[in-house]
Chain A
Amino acid sequence: MQGNTACAEGALAAGCRFFGGYPITPSTEVAEAMARRLPKAGGVFISMEDELASMAAVIGAAWTGVRSMTATSGPGFSLMMENIGYAAMTETPCVVVNVQRGGPSTGQPTRAAQGDMLQCRFGSHGDYSTIALTPNSVQEMFDLTVKAFDLADRFRVPTFLMADEIVGHMRERVTIRDPAAIVPPRPLAEGSLPFEAGEDGVPGFAPFGSGRSVHVTGLTHNERGYPDTTDPEAHDKLVRRLITKIESARREIADYEVKNPDAETVFVTYGPPSRTVEQVIQDRSDDSIGHLRLRLVWPFPEFALEEFPNAKVFLMPELNMGQMVREVQRHVDQPVVSLPKIGGELHTPAELVRALEAHR
């Protein structure tokens, strides 16, 4: 099965019943699969007039209590940014799939890239936090899509599946698992205000129709949901909570793999470059190369770097000019070497071996 189809299957398995989108290479097959499958599953597929509308429709649908998603690629992702910020501010659980392509602008539609990694963290205006998953296989297009819905509901936050053209268009064998029982967002407790958070910083959810007359606004609001736009304390309290509810749960959210923790030279990867690193490691007879593979990059699990106590150098191949490498550099004292590659192709094993030898 193709990666994009696996993503759609994952969404269906997760109980997604609303998809609003606008076609863009290399994400289009996600929409096409949803168009085929959703009506038969009792869901709604709608081709919106653009990505601004797609993101808007997804948020509207999500507030009716239906698991909702859209899929796009770079330029469409840029167009969604205002409403992604709205989803963060209004704590709307929803999933946005970005099958990344080469940018900036319309760039390379059919080539792979990981150029939107900072956009998915900081792309909308203002301060907020989100969750972003990074599949490296067709199986993970399925598994991590399911997981994205669970995290979106658990934390009431727009959650990103930051795929790319390689995993989107690659064909591999997939096991379609029945997901564990779908856990909807915690319902709003009787007597609680609609944006009153419990200890974990996440308010209970009262979707439209639940009789609670919830007012949802992208303006700075109080716990009742009413605009409160000039009180510095109200703004500080709300925005700080939106960030803290995600950042304070980073250990619970984290998802990564560790290989050869005693190594002195350690690759840090996410998405398809991890596959080249796997090849390099497999080709050697010893355990001298470590590998930290992130399946989730935001919130950044900096504690994962501590799994390599003997590390002398971290190497970071990315399909961009060096985006997530900054996050690693921020958290370690050792040298961190960026191995950027743009243009649409993966690093070859030989390239990585050369880098390895140069920096060991």
Chain B
Amino acid sequence: MIAPDWFREDRLPHIYCTGCGNGTVINCTLAAVEEMGWKRDETVFVSGIGCSSRAPGYILADSLHTTHGRALAFATGVKMARPEFNVVVFTGDGDLAAIGGNHFIHACRRNVDMTVVCMNNHIYGMTGGQGSPTTPPGAISSTTPYGASEPAFDLAELAIAAGANHVARWTSYHVKELTKAVAVGMQTPGLSFIEVRTQCPTNYGRHNKLRTVSAMVEYIRSHAMLVEKYNRLTAEGKPIPEGTFTVGELVRRNRPAMGVRR
């Protein structure tokens, strides 16, 4: 599963908390890169700001750790200037959906040929656990001490509506499925968006009655429902349990894309 050739071992120790889901997502992404057989000098990792956005710093390749929310705009410049590069973006829910929301919809609309992996921990992790646009209603965070009162964004649905060619959602529990989804994304021309629901034990779990890492992973796993099952239940008019979200490949299509290798 692990792709040691792609790690910057001289960067260790990393900054992630014990039990953080980000490491798993990095591992799965690198396993997919390995599967693709990409060359190091043709692969660029880009990110914004946040715990999740630190990922490129631990990867041995050209990597651009940019400003908060702007990763997709930077990545668009890289990919459009040099379409022969493979471009992978790591981003967080705050980075992507809050400050970077506009860049997100436009990158999907342009369908720029790159792979975007979003570690959605439902919180601003790096700044200490404030509510983000994906914080579930009712959840406790340092800026929603009485429970989040705003509706949450469904990032995958947003990407589909905005025009991305490939959209999938998994969790940090589903390592095999996630790895496969990232690899499919890398093979699909156009923008591939992979949302990963992941645990932030430090800033989310602790405040929301999910005190251990395993409790939080189990919570995420048990609320994930395969999109096929979800569609079947809905068609049959059967009830969907509260808090359920779909996982699986949500879209794969072949709309016109930009920056596809010449």
Contact = CB atoms under 8 A, between A and B. Distances in A.
Interface of A: 17-18, 20, 44, 46, 48-50, 52-54, 56-66, 68, 82-83, 86, 208-219, 224, 226-227
A46 B76 contact: yes
B65 A60 contact: no
Interface stretch (B41-49, B197-205, B221-229, B238-246): B41-49
B40 interface: yes
Contact of A209 (B41, B70, B73, B103): B41
A209 B65 contact: no
A255 to B, nearest CB: 29
Given A56-B67, A60-B81, A210-B41, A215 B75 contact: no
B176 interface: no
Nearest to A66: B81
Given A46-B76, A53-B103, A215 B63 contact: yes
Given A49-B103, A216-B63, A226-B11, A56 B57 contact: no
B80 A56 contact: no
A184 to B, nearest CB: 15
A60 B85 CA distance: 12
From DSSP, what is the main secondary structure of chain B's interface residues?
helix
B63 A44 contact: no
A14 to B, nearest CB: 16
Interface of B: 8, 10-11, 40-42, 44, 46, 56-57, 60-67, 70, 73-82, 85, 102-103, 106
Contact of A60 (B8, B40, B60, B78): B78
A18 B44 contact: no
Nearest to B63: A215
B85 A64 contact: yes
Given A57-B77, A60-B78, A66-B82, 8 more contacts: A49-B73, A49-B102, A56-B73, A56-B77, A57-B76, A59-B74, A208-B78, A226-B57
Contacts of A65: 82
B116 to A, nearest CB: 14
A4 B32 CA distance: 46
Given A57-B80, A208-B85, A218-B67, A213 B73 contact: no
B76 A48 contact: yes
A60 B44 CA distance: 10
A218 B66 contact: yes
A60 B76 contact: yes
